[in-house]
Amino acid sequence: MTPGKEIIYLDDAATTPVDPVVAEAMQRCLSGGGAFANPSSIHIAGRASRAQVERSRAQVAKLLNTAPGNLVFTSGATESNNLAIAGAARFRSHRGRHLVSMPTEHKAVTDCFAALEREGFEVTWLEPDQRGLLPIGDLEAAIRPDTQLVSIMHVNNETGVIQDIHQIGDACRRHGVLFHCDAAQSAGKLPIDLSALPVDLMSLTGHKFYGPQGIGALYLADRPECRIRPLFHGGGQERRLRPGTLPVHQVVGLGAAAAIAVERQPDDLAHAERLNARLWKGIRDVRGITRNGDPGHCFPGILNVSIDGIDGESLMLALEPLCVATGSACNSQSGEPSYVLRALKLTDRLAQSAIRFSFGRFTHESDIDAAIGVYTGAVDRLRSIMPKATA
Amino acid sequence: MSSEEPYNDTVRRHFANPAHAGDLQAGYPHAVAAEVSESEAGLRILLSAQSDGNIIYRLRYRVFGCPHLIAAAEELCSRLEGGPAEGLQDVPVAQLMELLEVPVEKTGRLLLLEDAANALHEACCRLLPGNHAGQEKGTKLARKQSKD
């Protein structure tokens, strides 16, 4: 961001703004008389902190319709994903070393699987169809007698494509395979009922649904098969699965965010749908524009578009002060086009021009209107600089 | 320029005000042009000049590429316009890299700009007395493709 420019923030899929009610709850926790003590301490102050932690756990559990005891606090979705995937794979490695996932998963998942491959595990990577969805027949065909774990995300962080996790979970249950779901983009935003979903492990993080960064949770189904090996060793916190002193103010923030989400989710979703429709209507006539991900299967808080014949890096600079993500959102250091969009069979040229708009509770229609103006203006300006045949 | 800020003020200024963006291929007498491209990143640079073979009266560019490349083209055009055509043979790549704080991994992009300038110089030379090819046929476009 250029100092002095007022930003237009449409990057909720990276991090949502913290809800003021959440910030207030955290502030109370950090201020004098708040829950500053170690929740593992048995004295009165420690017990007060513990009460705050367990209240938050219950709030997150209510959001997911599960029991509080099924949740382990972590530092966020990356840690939850690693704990679930590596933890389950290693725990079950004596039964088999075959795992299944998709190349369109977040790096926190794909890189974890890559690390397991180096440990001797075998991973089958299932390609999405052109809509970005997992063909369920491909999953069924990929599962083998030695398959131990399937990991498929709920909502894709780049395209917003929603996988049918009920159907995927059913297939896994039929074959006796654990199913992990990265719900970083959906928890708190889409209804999730873990009492009805055949999901064994689910990752979530606070900063994607108006909570603070640095706090997340892992759900473990209350089933005998659903056991994992911890990544860290130390104290006995979090059922020995995630040792370390809990950051009480972060946990309180996560709980507050979950409590708000329980109340606001239907309204937030309807709001996102209105914003999505308004944004697409405003840019759909731009020459060469393509919508990435099947709109019929997408979370409405994300709209990903590519545009033929525009350099993505120049587009990002031309879009300032609009805060959005590029087609190389998670690969900005490498400058490589998005591996997610390439998996959807986009050409490198289209993938590198991709822009992900993401928005939510605190996005106003005026933000969308401003974004439309900035985006269309930037495309026109870059086309006036480019060689004609390209433009 | 901090590590969080990928573009310095000069890049931002040129990118915001690309005064020499455009082309001289239509409607200008004694106009020549040269185009180079690089397939891997899809880069394209089109330089065009209005010249008598000795002096560059006008110099314009069109670029498909990153902000650093656009800024380099703008800087080059502003430096060479009004000067001798020989300047196209001597693109100060290292100086531009330093001025614009171009990341080293983008060196190839500035070398592509150098290729475009050299190709344009060759086209300008054809405008010199005794070689009327450019004037007779209007704009001459030299094309070159690089794999960089």
Tell me whether residue B98 is exposed, middle or buried, using C-beta atoms within 10 angstroms of its C-beta: 0 to 12, 13 to 18, 19 or more. exposed
CB within 8 Å: A387 and B46: yes
**Tens of pLDDT, residues A331-367:** 445 567 788 898 888 888 889 899 999 999 999 999 9
Q: Could you tell me if residue A161 is left (phi over 0), alpha (psi between -120 and 50 degrees) or otherwise beta?
A: beta
Dihedrals φ, ψ of A261, to 5°?
Answer: -60, -40
* CB of B57 less than 8 A from some CB of A: no
User: Which ranges of chain B does DSSP label H, i.e. alpha helix?
Assistant: 9-16, 67-80, 93-100, 107-125, 133-137
* CB of B102 less than 8 A from some CB of A: no
The 10 Å Cβ neighbour count of residue A70 is: 19
Spatial separation of the C-alpha atoms in residues B13 and B135, rounded to whole Å: 36
Rounded to whole angstroms, the maximal C-alpha distance in chain A is 74
3-state secondary structure of B28: coil
User: Which ranges of A294-360 does DSSP label H, i.e. alpha helix?
Assistant: 312-318, 339-343, 348-352
Spatial separation of the C-alpha atoms in residues A36 and A59, rounded to whole Å: 20
Count of all residues that appear for chain B in the document: 148
Cα A311 from chain centroid (whole Å): 27
Query: How far is residue A365 from each of residues A18, A99, A324, B39, B77, measured CA to CA in Å?
Result: 19, 44, 16, 40, 42
pTM score of the predicted model: 0.91
Contact between A18 and A188 under an 8 Å Cβ cutoff? The reply is no
Quick one: closest CA in B to A332, which residue? B6
CB within 8 Å: B66 and A311: yes
Identify the pLDDT of residue A11. Answer: 97
A29 is catalytic: no
Verify cis geometry, omega within 30 degrees of 0, for the bond prior to A230.
Answer: no
* Cβ-based contacts of B44 with chain A (< 8 Å): 386-387, 390
Residue carrying structure tokens 């991900």: A293
pLDDT at position A329 over 50: no
* CB of B7 less than 8 A from some CB of A: yes
The pLDDT-based confidence of A326 (bands split at 50, 70, 90) is confident
* Cβ-based contacts of A386 with chain B (< 8 Å): 44, 62-64
Tell me whether residue B77 is exposed, middle or buried, using C-beta atoms within 10 angstroms of its C-beta: 0 to 12, 13 to 18, 19 or more. buried
* Cβ-based contacts of A334 with chain B (< 8 Å): none
Q: Supply the mean pLDDT for chain A.
A: 94
* Cα three-residue angle B78-B82-B87, rounded to 5 degrees: 75
Q: Which of A348, A386, A388 to mutate to test the interface with B (most CBs of B within 10 A)?
A: A386
**Tens of pLDDT, residues B104-137:** 999 999 999 999 999 999 999 988 876 654 444 4
ipTM given for this complex: 0.87
Give percent above pLDDT 70 in chain A.
96
Identify the pLDDT of residue A68. Answer: 98
Contact between B106 and B93 under an 8 Å Cβ cutoff? The reply is no
**Tens of pLDDT, residues B16-73:** 999 999 998 777 778 999 999 988 778 999 999 999 989 999 999 999 999 999 999 9
Give percent above pLDDT 90 in chain A.
85
Spatial separation of the C-alpha atoms in residues A290 and A284, rounded to whole Å: 8
Identify the pLDDT of residue A330. Answer: 38
The pLDDT-based confidence of A242 (bands split at 50, 70, 90) is very high
Q: Which of B11, B63, B64 to mutate to test the interface with A (most CBs of A within 10 A)?
A: B64
